[in-house]
Each structure stands twice: as C-alpha cells, then as structure tokens.
Copies of this chain bind each other. A is one copy, B any other.
Amino acid sequence: MEELSLNTVTVRDRWTLAQCIEGCARHGIPGISPWRDKLAEMGVAAAARRIREAGLVVSGLCRGGMFPAADAAGRRAAIEDNLRAIEEAAAIGARCLVVLGGGLPPGSKDLPGARAMFRDGLAEVLPAARAAGVTIALEPLHPMTCADRSVLSTLGQALDLAEEFGEGVGIALDVYHVWWDPELERQVARARGRIAAFHVCDWLVPTQDLVFDRGMMGEGVIDIPRIRALAEAAGYDGPSEVEILSRRWWAEEPDRVLERIVAWGQGA
C-alpha cells in the first residue's frame, strides 16, 4: 500500500497545524500538506521545525495561483502572494506548491482572457520557484468550479502548460477533479515525470454542494485504485494525500477521521 499524507483542510475546523502534526504522528500517517492559513497561524519557522522533528514528509503546500483579477493591481497582488507562497514552500521543504487556476474576475465572461491571465501569472512567478527549488504543481479543478475557483479545468490543459514551461512545473492529480475525464488514461500517461502530487477523496451520489460535499475514500463512486495504478504506471511513487472538503467530515472528531483514513490506507 502506498504511503499516506494528511492535507490539513480535511480537519480544518477542529485542529490547528500543531494538532495535525501531532495527529499524524499518533496515527502513523507519514506525510502532511498544510494550507497556508494554518501555516500562518503557527508561524512558518515554528511549523517547519515541528514538521521536521516529527519526521513528516511535506507532500505539498496549498495553495498558490489564482492569478486572474479584474485589474492590474489585483494581478500584481496575486503575483506577490505567490512569491510569498514559494518562500513558505521552500521553508517547510514541501515537495510542491499546489497552484490553482482561480475563477473569472467578478463581472467577467471572458474565459479565454482569464486563462491567459493565469498563464501570464505563472510565467511571472516561475523564475522565483525555480530559484527556490520549489516545484509548481498545477492542479486542474473539476469543471463545476470554473466560474469562481478554477479556470484550469482539465489535465490536458494543465499538461499543455507544464510542457510549455518545462522545468519546475508539474501537475497535482486529484481523483475528485479528474475521475470523469474521458481523456484520463491518455493524459495521466502523458503526465509521466510531471506528477508532483496525488490527492484522494471520493465523489458522493448525490453531491449536495459544489465545493464542500466530498466523501471519504470508499463512500463514493470513484475507482481510486484504478487511477492510482494509472499514476504509478506513469512513474508516480509518492504519497496519496487525503484532501476532503466536507461540512459533514469537518463536524467529526478529527481522531475518528484519521482512523478512517488509516483504515482506508490499509486496504480496509
């Protein structure tokens, strides 16, 4: 069985980053992937030290990107925020900085324009990422998030960018966002050497909310082992990072959530 990593958003409502680090140690989860708000609460230097002391692999830092904005000042602010995120990723030894598309600027219907803004923003921060040794992991999000969260919608689109920019740009493959894609098999094979992260959760039937109703692995309809096998066939051997945005799971006691995760990791 592959190694696990805990994305801190999975228990975001009840645990601080310090508690997540302790929780991973207590439950035998060898990896962690913090969100930046949790990191800021704890302080980057303190977090880096505690994660190192706990011996945890940092499978990623969530999240940078979100470059589209209504005006030049907004686009500049996004770029500066990404430069800070790159520093933070380097400080905690993250295997990648997960980079999201961002949505359409408010009032805009210009999707090709927003995608061009994303590309331009990426081009602007990439030299800093390369200099810091931080891999940029482009994460396409489910097309249902296109308007307000991610104009980066498919693996094919992310790989077009990764191939264009080359060194230092990979992808984050999240089963929730890509499981439906008729191109899945072909695009994952194409991603060889570029898969920087592998995220898991599940698609519930019915899904009640476009953002906060993901399932625990096994609760839904995604054939996760098949997608993991495709990723491994394309050379990925890193952790399966558990990232569950769910009002239901956020209400659970975090130790119970981690028990479920560990049981899944053991093939239960």
Residues of A in contact with B (beta carbons under 8 Å apart): 103-104, 108-111, 115, 142-144, 146-148, 153-154, 156-157, 179-183, 203, 205-207, 210, 220-223
Extra contacts, 10 of them, besides A108-B221, A143-B144 (Cβ < 8 A), are A104-B221, A109-B223, A111-B179, A144-B207, A147-B203, A153-B180, A154-B181, A154-B183, A156-B183, A210-B210
A223 near B111 (CB under 8 angstroms)? yes
A207 near B210 (CB under 8 angstroms)? yes
Docked Cα-Cα span, A180 to B111, in Å, equals 8
A182 near B142 (CB under 8 angstroms)? no
5 contacts between A and B (CB under 8 A): A109-B223, A142-B144, A148-B206, A206-B210, A207-B210
A222 near B182 (CB under 8 angstroms)? no
Nearest chain B CB to A117 CB, angstrom units: 15
Q: Which residues of B are found within 8 Å of A221, using beta-carbon distances?
A: 104, 108-109, 147
A115 closest partner in B (C-beta): B182
A109 closest partner in B (C-beta): B223
Q: Which residues of B are found within 8 Å of A144, using beta-carbon distances?
A: 142-144, 207, 210
A181 near B210 (CB under 8 angstroms)? no
Nearest chain B CB to A148 CB, angstrom units: 5
Nearest chain B CB to A188 CB, angstrom units: 13
Q: Which residues of B are found within 8 Å of A147, using beta-carbon distances?
A: 180, 203, 205, 207, 220-221
